[in-house]
Amino acid sequence: MTEHPFNLAELYIEQWPGDAELRPVLFLHGNTQNSTCGRGVVDFFRSRGHRVVVWELPGHGLSAMTTERYDLADLVALNNAIIEQYQLTEGLLIGHSIGGMIMASSVCQLALSDAALVMIGSLDQNPIEAVARHQIEDALYLQDSLDNYMAAGDGLFKKQRQYDYFTNRHLDDAFTEIINRRYTQPAANRINLTSLHGYDVRAALTALAPQMLVLHGAKEEVIPKALVDDMVKFYPNAAVEWFSDGGHNAFFQQDERTQEFLQKHYQSLVG
């Protein structure tokens, strides 16, 4: 079992049974959100008979935050442990934002060459460091935006709860960002964002060449479109679909499009 500083009994992990002959699915949400944003994705695969597992990051949704002494590497180790415990080594691993980064890292660390990967609003490198290699001014702007996002967290925070993002998917990104910090532990938000330094799985993931689907908002500001255009060049087994008028949360805000994309690539992901 992979070592990590968390107690799985204190985390929200939910599993829906399915056909043992079908590829199982694991979903992980993004920073300062929770598993409800993935309800449409979960329902898509459950309705087709797949076993589905979701979990929530510490301090998010229904997962307790019992320590602040962890970083991204520990979250990856935790995800590795869940993959092993729930027998998902040949599964379809789906993650939004930092959830996608954690999934990509697990594929590399566990050498999951038989798994498939869906990265939603995510990247195989730290976006700030990736932007800095191209445009230092854009990187500074992105860093300032994240710093401001974290700084406002303490003032916006009310209490930790599992806010229903999917039911309220009509809300725009600006209001969603307020909700994110209102119901997620500020310390968890800071740890997630400040521990991304040095994150880069491109070389390892390229070597494994898993079947991949990339879903991304063309108008995303958190991870600019140019970075994704560059990323997918390295993965011959990757398909990319764009929410042409969407931002960072487009996958649940535009669930109908997400369902269309998943159906289009279903056989390549689960075959």
For the chain, domains (ranges, CATH) are 8-270 (3.40.50.1820)
Sites in the chain below the pLDDT cut of 50: none
124 in Cβ contact with 228 (< 8 Å): no
29 in Cβ contact with 121 (< 8 Å): no
Provide the token pair at 59.
């301090």
The confidence score (pLDDT) of residue 148 equals 87
As a whole number of angstroms, the distance between CA 54 and CA 16 comes to 9
pLDDT in tens, 204-260: 999 999 999 999 999 998 899 999 999 999 999 999 999 999 999 999 999 999 999
The confidence score (pLDDT) of residue 80 equals 98
Q: Considering just the CA atoms, what is the radius of gyration of the chain in Å? A: 17
The confidence score (pLDDT) of residue 63 equals 99
Provide the token pair at 213.
């689907």
Q: What are phi and psi of 60, to 5 degrees?
A: -115, 140
pTM comes to 0.96
Provide the token pair at 150.
């974290």
The confidence score (pLDDT) of residue 137 equals 64
The confidence score (pLDDT) of residue 221 equals 86
